[in-house]
Amino acid sequence: MDILILGILLGGSYALMALGLQLQYGVARIMNLANGEVLVAGSFGAFWFWTGLKLSPFLSIVPAALLAFAANWLVYRYVLRPLVRRAKSHGQLEVDSILATFGMSFILVGVMIAVFGGEYFSYSYLARPFEIFGQPYGLNRIVAFGGSAVLCIVLALWLTRSRTGLALRGVAVNPTAAGLVGIDVLKASALAFALGGAVTATGGALLSAFLTFDASLGVIFTMKALIIIIFGGVSDIRGAIVASFILGIVESAVARLIDPGLTLAAAYILFIAVLLWRPQGLFGRKSA
């Protein structure tokens, strides 16, 4: 029970970063390996809000999201769009974007080390126990989960109900047809990429409430987000959310029952199992 609740709390926070990568990969078709660094930047933002400005780290979500949106839009517009234009095939774009964003991740790590230093960071905010079914859990975990859940729901509703959200899903499903119905695919991709970055940075700000992090932690989160969206399906929000919970539960079970050091190994075993037995994702269909 304890493991289950901890796992769900953790999974809820993973869901946000996974949706961020899903927007970038599913709609904009950029496999963004710098996604984890954007998340860590969000964590640093929250850290600085609390320790530097004495403001609630949860308030940092607003400027972090806006800043990440603007920065990711610029990156798409000036770095990635030339690659999209040049790419003759989906495969070529995938290779080019992986290389470009992999390089970008090093730049971001370097900048964060230069600004904040290389040590580990954590802060104490709402570190009070909160009881669920008689068991105490950190209030910060619960608030982070709640914030993440609200944002996931808002995002999902926006994608399904609004015209712009529907247009982004249209681009994800069939970019050629999207152009034929009057959607400017490059513009929609830039929006999805920027929004994905904003969502990921928000996820980082929330996660930092209960997580110790350092400037080079990003790659681990990129991998986790990757595991979640491959597991859940590249363009399926439901799948990504369910997969986030499964990853959260598996990690907390392994940490509790076996050894905390093995959580990442467990995540990879899960990933390999998915690739072997269900490569199309949880709810995905076999591609033709």
Site mask, other proteins, residues 174-213, x = CB under 8 A? x-xxxxxxxxxx----------------------------
- Least Å distance between CB 135 and other proteins? 40
- Told to check if 157 binds other proteins by CB under 8 A, we report no
Going by C-beta distance under 8 Å and a sequence separation of 6 or more, which residues neighbour residue 168?
23, 27, 159, 188, 191, 192
- Contact with other proteins (CB under 8 A): which of 85, 88, 163, 286? 163
Of residues 233 and 248, the one with the C-beta less far from other proteins: 233
Nearer to other proteins, 240 or 249 (CB): 240
Cα dihedral across residues 47, 48, 50, 51: positive or negative? positive
Q: Which residue is it, tokens 């009070």?
A: 128
Inter-helix orientation angle 185-207/35-51, to 10°? 50
State the minimum distance, in angstroms, from the CB of residue 185 to other proteins.
7
Nearer to other proteins by C-beta: 77 or 98?
77
- Restricting to residues 216-255, which ones interact with other proteins according to CB under 8 A? 235
The reply to whether 169 sits near other proteins by the rule CB under 8 A is yes
- Return the number of the residue (121 or 231) whose C-beta is nearest other proteins: 231
- Select from 13-21, 128-136, 160-168, 239-247 the region that touches other proteins (CB under 8 A): 160-168
Stretch of 40-48, 57-65, 173-181, 223-231 lying at the interface with other proteins (CB under 8 A): 173-181
Please report which residue ranges of the chain form alpha helices under DSSP H: 2-22, 35-51, 61-75, 81-86, 90-116, 139-161, 163-173, 175-180, 185-207, 218-232, 237-257, 263-277
In degrees rounded to 5, what are phi and psi of residue 64? -60, -45
170 in contact with other proteins (CB under 8 A): yes
Scored b (16 or more CB within 10 A) or e, 137-151 reads bbbbbbbbbebbbeb
DSSP letter at 236? -
Q: Give the C-alpha separation, 32 to 94, whole Å.
A: 10
Closest distance of CB 149 from other proteins, Å: 25
Residue ranges that bind other proteins, judged by CB under 8 A: 163, 166-167, 169-170, 173-174, 176-185, 235, 285
